[in-house]
Structure 1
Amino acid sequence: MKQIFGVLAVCIVFAACQTKTKPSETDTILVYSLTEWKQYLDKSHVRVKLQPGNYQIDEADNIRFIRITGDDAYFDLRGVRFMVDTKLFSRPDLAKSDDGNSMYCAIEVSGDRVTLEGLYIETYGDTPGRQSKNKMFNIVGEGDVLKNVEVRTTGSSPWGFGYLYGLGGGDVRKMNGIRVGYPAKDVKLLGCKVHMRAMGHAIFLQGAENTLIENCHVDGLLRTTDAILAETSGYAFDRDFYAGKGGYVEGTMIREDGKIMPGEIVSLSEDGIRMYPEYNGHKTKNTTVKNCTVTQMRRGICTGLSTSGDKVIDCVVRDCVATGYNVGNADTLINCSADAKYAEAFCVPYTNAKNAYVEMNILDSRNGMANDLLAKINGEGHHVIVKTANEDYIPSSMAIKLASWQGYGNFNKKATPLATDVVLDNETNCKVLSYPGVKDTEINSKGEIIKEAKQDQRLIIN
């Protein structure tokens, strides 16, 4: 009997502790200023509501301007707007972080099981940052949740030319949206919106595990090269309209000598939702992207650089200029949709990618420009299903291409494009071009199948 009472006592104490780690709504602390709110950012087991209103963030003592370090905390920011001065991203006097990463960011969440709900955050001013790693959010804790958070980015420089000057350590100073990075695990982004009005990625992962991105929206801006070439002053004009390099650059064709050509289109930002393969040796693993939309970005949803096999479910991508979906090793895309107005609706570009599964519904791809590629499939062991609700959505000039150089993703200039053991079910009238690198592949197509097609040398990366 004593043993039974002893066990019951332990259970009661354990239950009491568990209750304490999850404060109820009646425990909510209401604060009325940013100064008061910051006093709780390093506290655990708190539930804090900031009075709705506009709050200006123009002072900081660290390159992570706001740091949330407590565990098991809930911050109710519904009706709150943070306005972050871009000057902070160029302050050399701010203390560095102790994590070895020199990036500046507006808000960092490093505590575990932190929920931040309802914030609208934007930058103001046009002061460029000191680096290209500037971010609005950096999430590195375990079990953290961003819910119904809305981000609007500005402050990159030079603005208006996208990646024409910003790749590989170029001139652009970026302003990214939300980063989820190692040692982050089990992070959830729910109902978040990112409006990219700066060069950078909207949502991206580096070394994070088991991330869920659900009901999120990303939008950016596009610009034609005709509009750039019509400028009579500014960054491109001063360089006689020569870009950083020539050839195929992220969905845009540039003359071999680097001169910007008319008739092309540029994304002013980078990728909508993107996985990097790793961070400092820690792989990005097991990401799920569900019921999300991406419009007018460089690439829409880019899981292809992570090799763990990610899931993309019920997502819609429109008007992207490098590819709608970049698909990679063991990725699964279920009931996804994209158009091909400015770039292929999706691609499996890597010859070493294996066993991807893709269900793609082609949206209205008429009235686009600078693209005749509906989809590209390289690699081994994939099963791809392409369909559309209306055959008129796909212009007759477009094609699905297997073992092709064209489009995004051919980083190894010496590689031979291959497509092996692929099953393609093309339920559209779009033609299929099968190039010499295709082997042991089953193509079922309503549209014409052209075997041993000749590669278009003009579209090979130089």
Structure 2
Amino acid sequence: MKRNIILKLIVLATCITTSLSAQIKVNSISELLPYLDDDHVSVKLKPGVYSIKAEDVAKGLYQKEVKLKNTSKVLLLFEGNHSTYDFTGVTINIDTKVLQAFGKYQVHELQIIGNNNVLKNLTMVDDGSVHDAPTRRATNIVMDGKNNRIEGFHVTTKGSYPYGYGDAFGKGGKVVIPHRKHSACLIRGESNHLKDSKFIHKSYGHCIFMQAASNPIIDGCYVEGEVRKTDDMLKETSGPAFDVDFMTVWGYKLPKGYMLSTGEAGIRAYNAGETIIDGKEYRRGTSNPTILNCTIKFMRTGVTIAHARGKKYVEGCVAMGCENGFSLGSGDAVNCSADCSYGPVYSTTYENDRNYNADITILPASHPYYNGSGSVAYIGGSGHNITLRGTDEVIEKGLAIKVGGDKNNIRLLNGNFPHQNDFKGGSFQIKNLTNYPIFLSAKSNHVAGESIGEISDLGTNNNIKKINRHEK
């Protein structure tokens, strides 16, 4: 008798487990919505093209909100735990007019606040004009909660104001032209993971950025933005920049000779933010980010995580056609690469940057040089160990690896933001295995190492040995 009861219990448990793990197939977004707050479900949306329009919002179909410091309206809010959502073959077109449909609220197109969820293989497209800005601001994806993974997404971001000038007319509190940003992916929470996803970024805002994120991982992602010459901006005969006579937020007229990204950072970390985990709100910075095998093109920066705390690790990443390739502050950039066609492959963020280890291969430019700063790399601070590699290709005249001194960055001209410029640099090791020259400014000291490129030394107690390529 007891044996039969045990067998029945085993069969019942097996049935329950099978029931919980069985995939649920839904045929529309309206059928999907009731499952977004469920635990332990596996849901697959039927392959096809779906649309979310402003009139859907007006009908009350999307009224979810998340209340933190700033309340957000959310189209697709994933509140459950231990669930999987398969969007293979699914495209969701989101009308850019939706970004204005909620009034003055910020809009999140997709947000996770549960734990241990997997969302995979969704194509999200902002359908409309690049100038269809949100009423306030917008983000395609927001990851809160803990141990969530987004994998295999393809996201096209559009709709911001002003678009086409980068941050020349403002990005934070002080602005010349009031702006309404639209970023692609915000990672917050605990141990969340963005994997193998592609972002086509045609918006003023960050592509992938981290706030209040602990132990985030960004792995195998591709980011592609757009760039414009300042010369071309200055040719405009109408529009928001023309209306302010091209007077930048930096206090001077937009200069010629630079390339600006129309977006912001490719991958960026902040030292503040808010998140929600298990229903509790946390306010904190970003800590221990890991960035692996990502490619970033045509953004203001490739990977900038100087403002994160703890262990910062970047490996196998490529930055092409960015205004700046990598800025870590401290930490490791291992087996990375970048070109210097529009700006330096590496730049020190603050003069007190300490102890970063960088191994970066300088790639030949795949497009004409337009590097207004003249920097291959800019190095300040101390305690670093830097290796710059490169091939025997003809170098671009006028570009140099700079240690300390003037960055000649477009945002730092005429004495603007002096705390971000004209750094001291010293007491570190550098190995320049490229033909690019090293320029040691008068603010350099106790820099040691070796260089294939020529060495100009205006500093004190520097000891860089000139070597031939076969000696490396």
Same fold (TM over 0.5): yes
Shift of 1:416: 6.3
Shift of 1:300: 1.0
Give the alignment partner of residue 152 of structure 1, picking from 156, 164, 167: 156
Shift of 1:212: 1.3
Give the alignment partner of residue 449 of structure 2, picking from 443, 448, 452: 443
The 5 A counterparts of 1:280-319 are 281-319=283-321
The 5 A counterparts of 1:53-132 are 53-58=48-53, 59=57, 60-62=62-64, 63-92=73-102, 103-126=106-129, 127-132=132-137
> SS of the counterpart of 2:231?
helix
Which amino acid is 2:157 matched to?
T
> SS of the counterpart of 1:146?
strand
Aligned to 2:439: 433
Aligned to 1:261: 255
- Structure 1 stretches of 4+ with a deviation exceeding 3 A read 19-24, 91-94, 407-416
Shift of 1:403: 2.0
Find the aligned partners of 2:19 and 2:335 in 1 and give their Cα distance.
37
1:48 aligns to 2:50 (yes or no): no
Aligned to 1:359: 359
Q: Deviations over 1:129-148 (max 9, x none)?
A: 1224x100110011101110
> SS of the counterpart of 1:223?
strand
TM-score, normalised via structure 2 length = 0.82
Find the aligned partners of 1:215 and 1:285 in 2 and give their Cα distance.
20
Alignment size in residue pairs = 419
1:213 aligns to 2:210 (yes or no): no
Find the aligned partners of 1:146 and 1:120 in 2 and give their Cα distance.
12
Q: Deviations over 1:349-391 (max 9, x none)?
A: 3221211100010011473112421001111210000110234
Q: Which has the larger displacement, 201-210 or 271-280? A: 271-280
TM-score, normalised via structure 1 length = 0.84
Shift of 1:114: 0.8
The RMSD of aligned alpha carbons is 2.7
1:174 aligns to 2:167 (yes or no): no
1:276 aligns to 2:265 (yes or no): no
Q: Which has the larger displacement, 364-373 or 379-388? A: 364-373
Name the % identity.
29
Identify if the C-alpha distance between structure 1 residues 407 and 28 changes in structure 2 by more than 3 Å, giving closer, same or farther: farther
Find the aligned partners of 1:415 and 1:29 in 2 and give their Cα distance.
57
Which amino acid is 2:354 matched to?
K
Shift of 1:20: 4.5
Aligned to 1:223: 228
Which amino acid is 1:224 matched to?
K
Gaps (5+ residues) in structure 1? 95-101, 247-257, 455-462
Q: Which has the larger displacement, 135-144 or 168-177? A: 168-177
Q: Tell me if the contact between 2:170 and 2:248 (Cα under 8 Å) persists in the aligned partners.
A: no
Which amino acid is 2:185 matched to?
I
Q: Which has the larger displacement, 283-292 or 118-127? A: 118-127
Identify if the C-alpha distance between structure 1 residues 396 and 226 changes in structure 2 by more than 3 Å, giving closer, same or farther: closer
Identify if the C-alpha distance between structure 1 residues 430 and 23 changes in structure 2 by more than 3 Å, giving closer, same or farther: farther
Shift of 1:319: 0.4
Shift of 1:417: 1.7
Higher strand proportion, which one? Answer: 2
Find the aligned partners of 1:414 and 1:316 in 2 and give their Cα distance.
25
